Amino acid sequence: MAMREVFGAEGVERALFSSTKGHLGHAQGAAGVLELVATLEALEHGHFPGTAGLDALRPSVNLPVLSGARVAVDPSAPFVSCNSAFAGSNAALVVAHGSPLGAGESASPAPAHSRLPPLFVHGVFVDVAERHLTELRAPARADTRGHDRATQLLLHGVLGALAHTGLVLRGAARERTGLFVGMLRPSPESSAAFRDSIDERGAARPDVSAFARVVLNAALGAVAKTLDVRGPESSLVSGEGSGLAALYAAARVLETQNDVDQIVVAAVDVLDAAPSPPGQRGLPMRDAVVALVLSKQPPAHGEVAVRLAGLGIAGGGQGGLASTRAGWDAGTCAPTLAPELPASGGLVAFAAAVKGMVAGEVQRACVSSAGGTVSVATLLERMKT
């Protein structure tokens, strides 16, 4: 139905449809990029890929779906890669071949740093528990049955940030508000339940509801459904420093997209259901959630505004380069080191800097996180509106 609505009756008849899942299985968070790579490779070799294991279509599916590969008549034709995930997290990419770079041409290098359009930080909320002691809030009349600990913590944090900001998600605000989350991994509680179901019932009869909760966007999707957030959303699972990576991604979306006004940025760390072995590195030692609202709108006149004035990104362990790209001119921005909060530690430090600025204790600050996968540096400035 969606394809017919997008392409129209004539367009559908001219298009070809297939899926890579039958070839690759369920690749979790990598499914979309694997499909993109597979399609590019297939077209480069002159083939439209078919759908493995497809014997017949359901009567309601009136589309030209390929069951086997077909020679590409025009391998340079554009294609659409669609990914529709659990809890309503959906994405689509339109890809077309461009003209190759000519002799002597080169791609434009990334600038050392760039000034962002005005983006402001509102509604900072932080809750860090010694272990599983956090008292979690939930919206009235919301059905939160089946929510695992990661989802509960995220919901708690997002509600806290919205309450501190005074943002009410009604009408157009739902469509123009996004949610970006940094995490270390799927919920360990749901992962354990899924593994246990396979041990008890075999690989052919796993706990399907537990499986739906271990995809990387499961917690975000559940919270977006509970609060009816309909704007752009993304889960960043890049290991240590995922919280600041989510902030970076959210800022770039606000910078380039006109259909979104604010994005709630959050990060979650969740303890294992069973205590981790002493000294085991890379796993959180506390439950934690931090959330804030990154917005194009400044605070009301006369209030203190905290502006996100610069952003920098670099490879793992390259905090100095990220600081330079963020425009920090006071030396290297020391990366936040919070081994007890690997995903959320950087965003917790960012929130602390924001609170210091609101209190008048800090005028300008740089907060960075140099994880093993990605390093992010952020530049903050205090100003009066």
Are β-strands 262-269 and 177-183 bridged in parallel, bridged antiparallel, or unpaired?
parallel
Asked if residue 339 lies in contact with residue 112, where contact means CB atoms within 8 angstroms, the answer is no
What confidence tier does 282 reach under pLDDT thresholds 50, 70, 90? confident
Residue 177: CA count within 13 A, CB half-sphere:
21
Which residue is associated with the tokens 């919205």?
162
What is the C-alpha separation between 385 and 383, in angstroms, rounded?
7
Containing 208, the helix (H) or strand (E) segment is helix 208-212
Containing 310, the helix (H) or strand (E) segment is strand 304-315
Higher pLDDT, 280 or 194: 194
Residue 41 has pLDDT above 60, yes or no: yes
List, in sequence order, every beta strand (DSSP E) within 131-254. Answer: 177-183, 233-236
Asked if residue 294 lies in contact with residue 262, where contact means CB atoms within 8 angstroms, the answer is yes
Q: Average pLDDT of the chain?
A: 87
What is the C-alpha separation between 271 and 151, in angstroms, rounded?
13
Nearest residue to 383 via CA among 279, 301, 269, 304: 304
Residue 3 corresponds to which tokens in the numbers above?
Answer: 């394809």
**What integer is the mean pLDDT of 364-385?**
90
Given this model, what pLDDT does residue 113 score?
47
Residue 125 has pLDDT above 80, yes or no: yes
Residue 39 corresponds to which tokens in the numbers above?
Answer: 């399609």
Neighbours of 44 (CB within 10 A): 11
Q: Which of 53-62, 113-122, 277-286 has the highest mean pLDDT?
A: 53-62
Given this model, what pLDDT does residue 207 score?
92
**What integer is the mean pLDDT of 114-136?**
80
Percentage of residues of the chain with pLDDT beyond 70: 90
Given this model, what pLDDT does residue 112 score?
45
Lowest mean per-residue pLDDT among 115-119, 153-157, 241-245, 350-354: 115-119
Q: Which residues lie closer than 8 Å to 143 by C-beta, 6 or more apart?
A: 226
Given this model, what pLDDT does residue 278 score?
54
CA angle 202, 206, 211 (to 5 degrees): 145
Q: Which amino acid is located at 64 in the chain?
A: P
Nearest residue to 347 via CA among 203, 222, 244: 244
Answer whether 0.85 is exceeded by the pTM.
yes
45: buried, middle or exposed (CB in 10 Å: 19+, 13-18, 0-12)? exposed
Q: Which residues lie closer than 8 Å to 14 by C-beta, 6 or more apart?
A: none
Residue 40 corresponds to which tokens in the numbers above?
Answer: 């590019």
What is the C-alpha separation between 381 and 379, in angstroms, rounded?
7
What confidence tier does 294 reach under pLDDT thresholds 50, 70, 90? very high
Asked if residue 310 lies in contact with residue 329, where contact means CB atoms within 8 angstroms, the answer is no
**What integer is the mean pLDDT of 150-165?**
94
337: buried, middle or exposed (CB in 10 Å: 19+, 13-18, 0-12)? exposed
Q: Which residues lie closer than 8 Å to 316 by C-beta, 6 or more apart?
A: 370, 371, 372, 373, 374, 375
Given this model, what pLDDT does residue 363 score?
93
Residues forming beta bridges with residue 127, ordered by sequence position: 289
Given this model, what pLDDT does residue 275 score?
62
What confidence tier does 25 reach under pLDDT thresholds 50, 70, 90? confident
Residue 111 has pLDDT above 50, yes or no: no
280: buried, middle or exposed (CB in 10 Å: 19+, 13-18, 0-12)? exposed
User: Given CA atoms 33, 38, 43, 47 in this order, what sign does their dihedral have?
Assistant: negative
Residue 214 has pLDDT above 80, yes or no: yes
Residue 289 corresponds to which tokens in the numbers above?
Answer: 């959630």
Q: How far is the CA of 173 from the CAs of 87, 91, 181, 259, in angstroms?
A: 20, 20, 19, 11
